[in-house]
Amino acid sequence: MKVKTEIAPETALIKEALPKVDFTDTFSTTNHQDTLESITNLIFGKEPKWVTLLFKIRNSIVKLFGLKTEMPKNVNTHFKVGSYIGFFQIFNIIENEVLLGADDSHLKFRVSIFNSQEKDFNIKVTTLVQYNNTFGKIYMTIIKPFHGLVVKSMIKNAYKSN
């Protein structure tokens, strides 16, 4: 499975995702047969084991700073606004794009999964982050080196059996 880095598309949901964007990146791959719901679940429904371990380490550290580390007790996993896929809440769904994310005291995080309908590399996974304070900026500086590796790995993991 080939994953490439590219410039964020200017989609309807990306344009309205956050009032301010302090960090963004986009990775793309090809998938022409699955629905947007299936693609989203493939990428964010099950991460590689090393990513699960990395999140456990992250959660044990950031818990000391009062950041969110657990899912809400009343999680709904249907593919609709307000439900969750993995740790991320669905904020919006339109025909060819879904916007997931999480809000915490230090930052707001959104990820767009967009089916551009292009011949090649039609699935665009775009991360958007807005810092809420200095701690958010420090946090992103620390995790930035891991972020790209994690997202690329999750995309490749989603399609390793295809």
pLDDT digits (tens, 9 = 90+) for 22-68: 999 999 999 878 899 999 988 887 777 777 777 777 777 777 777 77
- Do the beta carbons of residue 145 and residue 27 sit within 8 Å? no
pLDDT digits (tens, 9 = 90+) for 86-106: 778 999 999 999 999 999 999
- Report domain extents, the chain: 4-158
DSSP 5: E
- Those residues whose C-beta lies under 8 Å from the C-beta of residue 33, and which sit 6 or more positions away, are none
Q: What is the model's pLDDT at position 162?
A: 47
pLDDT digits (tens, 9 = 90+) for 109-157: 999 999 998 888 999 999 999 999 999 999 999 989 889 999 998 898 8
Architecture of domain 4-158: 2-Layer Sandwich (3.30)
